[in-house]
Amino acid sequence: MRRPTVVRDPALPEAVTIYEVGPRDGLQNESSIVPLEVKAEFIDRLVAAGLPIVEATSFVHPKWVPQLADAAELVARLPLSGSTPLPVLVPNERGLDRALEAGVGHIAIFASATETFAQKNLNSSLDGQFEMFEPVVSRARDAGLDVRAYVSMCFGDQWEGDVPVDQVVSTGRRLLDLGASQLSIGDTIGVGTAAHVQALIGAFGEAGTGTDLLAMHFHDTYGQALANAHAALQCGITTFDASAGGLGGCPYAESATGNLATEDLVWMLDGLGIRHGVDLASLVGTSVWMAEILGKEPASAVVRALA
């Protein structure tokens, strides 16, 4: 398999963590229901390819995301005691109850940096979401679970337009104060550009939030995801969300297209000589397999080139 020429930039991190979101964020927007057995095999393949974290599913109400209605059955089939964390997204206390019943050790909550998206996605106000999340995070931490916080619409909102940097930082800081261990900063509609990314990371730093607490979650709507990831690397970010084959979108934001493709990210990291632990050939094979099941061409340029 073709590999990029390695040219190491000593100014960049030596290693990064790829937080694979394909099974949850990637599949949630698919209109055809993916069988339980396929989802379980998808996760098994991703773990076998060396992805260090694989987000498995979400305990959201089936009415809102029918694709994930089998969350409890799927989690029951997963090796939760294995060395690879398999987090689940929980939208509220009921979702947390289900996660606790399932025996998961890692959860994520999904917050909004804007008023409109909070209302549409969470049925809450921008300020009110923290009251909803407080008991979820508190109970989860008391039970020994790790809690990650996604922050959506950080670079632009399809209803509100530009999102002030200080508003994003304030939202993120409040989630950390609740007890989240990491913030995943989301470009939900893919409008961010490199300098914007660096400005936001810098603003978090000025507010006392270091890059060790931040992850970046880019969408490729305008073809900027990989450039934005490189810009974040230059700021010292070492955790990146990505989705095998570039699967994904957001069911609550029509303009949100696919996530940063894991293979595209891996190819860039390989060329930069940055360690990540993922076997590219195995990952490409997995994405080709899933694309055939879904009946669609992979969004990942690297998958298309190598397959």
What number is the average pLDDT over the span 103-121? Answer: 97
Mean pLDDT of 110-126: 96
pLDDT band at 227 (very low <50, low <70, confident <90, very high): very high
Whether 60 is covered by a domain: the verdict is: yes
- pLDDT at position 256: 52
Give the pLDDT score at 253. Answer: 52
286 domain-assigned? yes
- pLDDT value of residue 294: 94
Q: What is the pLDDT of residues 186-220, one digit of tens each?
A: 999 999 999 999 999 999 999 999 999 999 999 99
Active site residue 235: no
Residue 12 lies in a domain: no
- pTM summary value: 0.96
Task: Judge whether 194 lies within some domain.
Answer: yes
Q: Is 1 domain-assigned?
A: no
Residue 237 confidence (pLDDT): 99
Is 191 a domain residue?
yes
The catalytically annotated residue of 250, 265, 274, 291 is 250
Whichever domain contains 202, its CATH number is 3.20.20.70
Tokens for 37, please give them: 């057995």
Q: Tell me what percent of the residues of the chain surpass a pLDDT of 70.
A: 97
Residue 228 within a domain: yes
In a domain, 139, yes or no: yes
pLDDT score at 81: 86
**pLDDT one-digit tens code per residue, 229-267:** 999 999 999 999 999 999 986 555 555 568 999 999 999
Q: Residue 283 corresponds to which tokens in the numbers above?
A: 């990952």
Instruction: For the chain, give the mean pLDDT.
Output: 95
**Residues paired with 17 in a beta bridge:** 239
Check whether 113 has a pLDDT greater than 60: yes
Edge-to-edge strands, sheet with 214-218 = 53-54, 17-20, 239-242, 214-218, 182-187, 146-152, 106-112, 88-89, 57-58
Per residue in 1-54, pLDDT (tens digit) is 999 999 999 999 999 999 999 999 999 988 899 999 999 999 999 999 999 999
* Segment 44-99, tens digit of pLDDT: 999 999 999 999 999 998 888 999 999 999 999 999 988 999 999 999 999 999 99
Which pLDDT band, with edges at 50, 70 and 90, does 158 fall under? very high
Q: What's the structural domain count of the chain?
A: 1
Can you give the residue range of the structural domain that contains 269? Answer: 17-306
Q: Residue 2's pLDDT is what?
A: 94
